[in-house]
């Protein structure tokens, strides 16, 4: 049980680009709030 393990070398990861899309989606039925009525929602895809 006293085994030693070699740790793997650390590698660095670089994010080169992030793409996003905004999509307007209609709701099935209007969503009534106290001051307004929502007919759709915006979804962000990353």
- 40, part of any domain: yes
Structurally, the chain folds into a number of domains equal to 1
Model confidence pLDDT, tens digit, residues 16-30 = 999 999 999 999 999
Name residues whose C-beta falls within 8 Å of residue 29's C-beta, 6 or more positions apart in sequence. none
Q: Please report whether residue 7 resides in a domain.
A: no
Selection from 19, 23, 39 nearest residue 31 by Cα: 39
Instruction: State the residue range of the domain holding 42.
Output: 12-46
- Which tokens in the block code for residue 36? 């307004």
Q: In this structure, are residues 30 and 17 in contact, taking their beta carbons and an 8 Å threshold?
A: no
What pLDDT does 41 receive?
95
pTM: 0.52
Q: Is position 27 within any domain?
A: yes
The reply to whether 35 falls in a domain is yes
């Amino acid at each position: 049980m006293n085994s030693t393990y070699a740790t793997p070398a650390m590698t660095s990861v670089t994010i080169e680009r992030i793409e996003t899309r905004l999509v307007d989606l209609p709701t099935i039925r209007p969503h009534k709030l106290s001051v307004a009525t929502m007919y759709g929602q915006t979804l962000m895809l990353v």
